[in-house]
Amino acid sequence: MILSKENKILREKTKEIRDFGSAELKLLIKKMSDAMFGEPDGIGIAAPQIGISKKIFLVAEDVLYPKRLVEEKNKTKKYLVFINPSLKNKSSKKLRDLEGCLSVRGIYGDVSRPEKITVEYFDELGDKKIRGASGLLSRVIQHEMDHLDGILFIDKTKKIIQQ
């Protein structure tokens, strides 16, 4: 079950993960992926959204191929895992775009975010990774990283659109 914006855990700073490769971590990742892919518009999810205050989020691999997001039959159930992420670089150029959230249903808002980023993180086995991102992937990573700091997109938008 995905928590809604009123839940206090969504406003907490998360704790780092140290038990790489453990059965507990594998179970957490499975619960997160099940919750994300259980929603028709799920493209990213952070652990606090399922009630776990840990520094981990998933991004649907389809984000790398935006055409798949539109074509239901081509969607996969593959995902990228980001554990203990930190932003290492961000472009000065920012882009505004509409965002929504699995924890803030029926509300959307324009959010300005850096166009390009570099993120350092660990995978589920504890291997350190560095990845550059732009476009939708950059936006989703930044959105999910905000969740790890207790921030929701509605805190950053100047104009809320309800549907």
Q: Which residues are catalytic?
A: 144
Q: Left, alpha or beta for 22 (phi > 0: left; psi -120 to 50: alpha)? A: beta
CA distance 59 to 40: 14
116 forms beta bridges with 134
Pair 114, 146: CB distance under 8 Å:
no
